[in-house]
Amino acid sequence: MPDLREGCMTGKPLEDTTPADALVLFGAMGDLAHKKIFPALYHMVRRGHLDAPVIGIARAGRTNTHLIERARDSVQKQDSNVDQEALAMLLKLLRYVGGDYQDPETFHLLKKALGTIWRFHPVCLQVLSSLSQSLTA
C-alpha cells in the first residue's frame, strides 16, 4: 500500500499555507464525525482556528437542522463544560448537503453550496483526484 501522506505534502511549512475557504466533511452524520470530528471542530472554533463554513455531506433525507442537532449532541456528550458561544459559532458554520457519493448530482449540490467561497489546495490531489474532477466538471 502506498504511503498516502506523500501525496499530501505541499513543500510549505504549515504556517505558510493559505487558509481554506471552506471545510467539506464527508460522512457528516456518521459515528466518526459524532465521536471525533465535531468535538475537534468545536475546539478549533473555541481556539480561534476555524471560522470557515463547514459543509457536511451525508446521505439524502436529512436537513441542515439534523446536522446542527447532531453536532450539538456530539459536543455536549464530549465536554461537560461547553463554551456556549463557541458552540453557537460552530453551529452557524454548518451547512448540509445530502446525496450519494457515487452520484454526480451530489457533487453538483456541493459545488452549489460552495459557491464562490472556495479554493483548492494542492493537498492530497493524488488521493482525491475523482473528487477534484467532479467538482471542476
Q: What is the pLDDT at residue 123?
A: 33
Mean pLDDT in the chain? 79
Query: Which CATH superfamily groups domain 19-118?
Result: NAD(P)-binding Rossmann-like Domain (3.40.50.720)
**Closest-CA residue to 27 (of 53, 55, 58, 54):** 58
Q: Please say if the pLDDT value at position 118 is more than 80.
A: no
Rounded to an integer, the average pLDDT of 124-135 is 50
Query: What does the domain layout of the chain look like in residue ranges?
Result: 19-118
Rounded to an integer, the average pLDDT of 109-131 is 60
Q: Please say if the pLDDT value at position 19 is more than 50.
A: yes
Higher pLDDT, 72 or 111: 72
Higher pLDDT, 130 or 31: 31
d(Cα 74, Cα 30) in Å, to the nearest integer? 11
In the chain, the amino acid numbered 26 is F
Supply 14's cell numbers: 504549515
Rounded to an integer, the average pLDDT of 50-62 is 89
